Amino acid sequence: MNNKNVVLAYSGGVDTTACIPYLKHEMGCERVVAMTADLGQGEDLESIRLKALQAGADEAVVIDAQDDFIARFGIPAIAANALYDRQYPLSSALGRPLIAELLVAEAQKRGFQYVAHGCTAKGNDQVRMDLAVQLLAPGLKMLAPAREWKFSRAEAVAYAESFGIKAHVSQAKPWAIDVNVLGRNVEAGFIEDLGWETTAEVWSMTRSPEQAPDQSECVTIGFDQGKPVSINGAKVSPRDLFSTLNELGGRHGVGRIDMLENRVVGLKSRELYEAPAQILLLVAHRDLEALTLPSDVTKFKRGLEEKWAELVYNGLWHSPLKLALDAFIGTTQERVTGEVTLRLYKGSAWVVQRTSPKALYRLDLVTYGSDCTFKHDSAIGFIDLFGLPSRIWSEVGNRPLAEVQ
């Protein structure tokens, strides 16, 4: 009854592999179940599952969560126009609350008291995993071997090898990679040198502008109530939509990001991201909102979008504030229906056409043509009242510029 049984979030990497013997031999776990979530990382997950068993896991499961990931995490992030630190579309961050949900479900299904992750103490992912589990299942206890041990990467490999486990990744790269259907993140290695300009081998989803085609290309993305649903007029599944846009954007060098990021734990780190589909969707979605949302809603929402991105980045996906913001954002999306055409060319994507059955654009009012129905006379009275408070301020002797008296 009081056996220490645990479900471990397992990626197949060095750290999580070394976690398996560590949980058993140093942390006294009886049963270790390795759980790998398929978020579209494009790896051979069956061999990752076998690797967990070879490392001593009592059971190893792979859960296909791609559709759920896109529908419940990727698409809401587009509705929120989410960019952390103005650049990062949260592709890696969005995966963690889902992995935590799956971990909790696996533990509860088996009646286990423990869950575990292989995150280290310096990253954001530990915060996301810990907080999500605490909010979802307060009774579950989290074990985090890689936060506890004092191993360097080489020592972690040596530790695993002492149990006869091959933890080494074949042709190890000098950086850490995290991939899912929303994008790819690369950190560590040369990237830590802020003076090092990246070279081709760190990128994989995107071409450089130099390698991108000399011919530009257009794509039309259709949205239904804020959700992307079609490409060039044809309905597509969310999975196909992401893979098509990742391929198209990547081919034109769109969605490459090299940025300095403010981590939750207070550090600044240099991060490389590739997220072509998300960047294309964000450009198109923002434009469709400009066409379909009233001015005050758009502007009010903008402030909340930054907060939403920060909450998600900080691991507060399941927090009350994030859920309340979801409700607001959800309401705003009811009219965000229509099509946006982007032109892609050598690392850039910009809007060239937009149309919506819910458009708030009124040609009869805005046109400079002779058939304009805008009430010109109203403008004078409007400015009279609009400027009244500032004018009173000026009339009582204040001047915006000291030298003009």
Residue 126 in the binding site for ligand ARG (CB under 6 A): no
In angstroms, give the least distance from the CB of 384 to ligand ARG: 51
Contacting ligand ARG within 244-263 (CB under 6 A): 261
Contacting ligand ARG within 157-176 (CB under 6 A): 176
Binding-site size for ligand ARG (CB under 6 A) equals 9
Nearest to 291 by CA among 361, 220, 367: 361
Of 145 and 222, nearer to ligand ARG (C-beta) is 145
Binding mask 50-89 for ligand ARG (x = CB under 6 A): ----------------------------------------
In angstroms, give the least distance from the CB of 92 to ligand ARG: 4
Question: For the chain, how long is the longest CA-to-CA vector?
Answer: 85
CB neighbour class for 399 (10 Å; exposed up to 12, middle 13-18, buried from 19): exposed
Between CA 385 and CA 376 the distance in angstroms is: 16
Contact with ligand ARG (CB under 6 A): which of 41, 185, 206, 278?
185
Of 188 and 359, nearer to ligand ARG (C-beta) is 188
97, amino acid identity: P
Contact with ligand ARG (CB under 6 A): which of 9, 21, 55, 125?
125
Residue 178 in the binding site for ligand ARG (CB under 6 A): yes
Buried b / exposed e along 325-344 (16+ C-beta atoms within 10 A): beeebeebbebbbbbbbbeb
In angstroms, give the least distance from the CB of 90 to ligand ARG: 7
In angstroms, give the least distance from the CB of 57 to ligand ARG: 20
Q: In what order do the strands lie in the sheet with 256-262?
A: 176-180, 183-187, 268-274, 256-262
In angstroms, give the least distance from the CB of 110 to ligand ARG: 25
In angstroms, give the least distance from the CB of 258 to ligand ARG: 13
How many CB atoms lie under 10 A from the CB of residue 93?
26
Contact with ligand ARG (CB under 6 A): which of 124, 244, 246, 333?
124
The secondary structure of residue 333, as a DSSP letter, is G
Between CA 304 and CA 396 the distance in angstroms is: 37
Of 136 and 176, nearer to ligand ARG (C-beta) is 176
Binding mask 358-387 for ligand ARG (x = CB under 6 A): ------------------------------
Contact with ligand ARG (CB under 6 A): which of 93, 100, 107, 272?
93
Of 39 and 291, nearer to ligand ARG (C-beta) is 39
In angstroms, give the least distance from the CB of 268 to ligand ARG: 11
Give me the long-range contacts of 292-299 (CB less than 8 A, separation at least 24): 292/335, 292/336, 292/337, 292/338, 292/356, 292/358, 292/359, 292/360, 293/332, 293/335, 293/336, 293/360, 294/360, 297/332
Between CA 203 and CA 91 the distance in angstroms is: 15
Of 261 and 305, nearer to ligand ARG (C-beta) is 261
* Pairing assessment for the beta strands 114-116 and 5-9 based on DSSP bridges: parallel
In angstroms, give the least distance from the CB of 288 to ligand ARG: 27
141, amino acid identity: K
Contact with ligand ARG (CB under 6 A): which of 16, 41, 92, 337?
92
Spell out where 95-190 has E strands. Answer: 114-116, 141-143, 176-180, 183-187
In angstroms, give the least distance from the CB of 257 to ligand ARG: 11
Of 136 and 188, nearer to ligand ARG (C-beta) is 188
- Residues sharing a CB contact under 8 Å with residue 100, sequence separation 6 or more, in sequence order: 9, 128, 129, 132, 133, 136
Residue 271 in the binding site for ligand ARG (CB under 6 A): yes
* H helix count then E strand count, the chain: 15, 14
- Both tokens of residue 384? 């009279």
Residue 278 in the binding site for ligand ARG (CB under 6 A): no
Of 92 and 333, nearer to ligand ARG (C-beta) is 92
397 Rama class: left (phi>0) / alpha (psi -120 to 50) / beta: left
Q: Which residues bind ligand ARG (CB under 6 A)?
A: 92-93, 124-125, 176, 178, 185, 261, 271
